[in-house]
Amino acid sequence: MKKPLSTGLSVLALAFALTACGGSAGTSTSSSAAAPSPSASSSSSSSAPSPSASSAAAAPAELKTATSGAGQRVVAANGKSVYFFTKDVKGSGKSACTGGCATTWPAVTTTAATPAVEGVGGTIGTIPTADGKMQITINGMPIYFYSKDEDSSDTYGQGVGGVWYLVSPSGSMMTPSGSTY
């Protein structure tokens, strides 16, 4: 009876040794979690990082600031400029840009209830879109991309039709006269 137990422990020890020497961090975690006995499992789970420790890491910023020829402006995580639409009503909870407008000026959306920002002032929130997504708002105003901005330095939407303006780091509209909306 002692021989099968010692053989099993030897196999287990060999599995741990091979995992520690040859596997990547992801491999060693998954194989060691499957191999140990219940008593070894409880001791390894106490040394594993807790879920709260990994969730405590800061989420990447969905909005941040960047500099272009137009000056400091707010950009999305992909680096593209974001814009306000002057026909939107602050705090209305809806976008005035629908149909073809929404094709040319897609909403900046998020999956987070509270989008992470870096260097962006103002009150950050969300409103529902027509297709059930969440559009990011700054100071109660929805924000958009411009479909003709292809590169992170592009600001082609600035001033289009006299109703589309870049968003400044303070969360205000960057108008040509330097005044903010």
How confident is the model over 13-57, as pLDDT tens digits?
434 333 333 333 333 333 333 333 444 333 333 344 333 333 345
For residues 149 and 145, give the distance between their C-alpha atoms in angstroms, rounded to a whole number: 8
Query: What is the helix, strand, coil percentage profile of the chain, to 5?
Result: 30, 20, 50
**147 Cβ contact list (under 8 Å, min separation 6):** 103, 104, 105, 106
Stated pTM of the model? 0.66
Give the largest Cα separation in the chain, rounded.
Answer: 89
Query: Tell me, what amino acid is at 68?
Result: S
For residues 81 and 157, give the distance between their C-alpha atoms in angstroms, rounded to a whole number: 9
Q: Can you give the pLDDT at residue 70?
A: 87
Query: Tell me, what amino acid is at 154?
Result: D
For residues 141 and 52, give the distance between their C-alpha atoms in angstroms, rounded to a whole number: 33
Q: Which of 116, 106, 114 is nearest to 83 (CA)?
A: 106
How confident is the model over 56-113, as pLDDT tens digits?
456 789 999 999 888 899 999 999 999 999 999 999 999 999 999 999 999 999 999 8
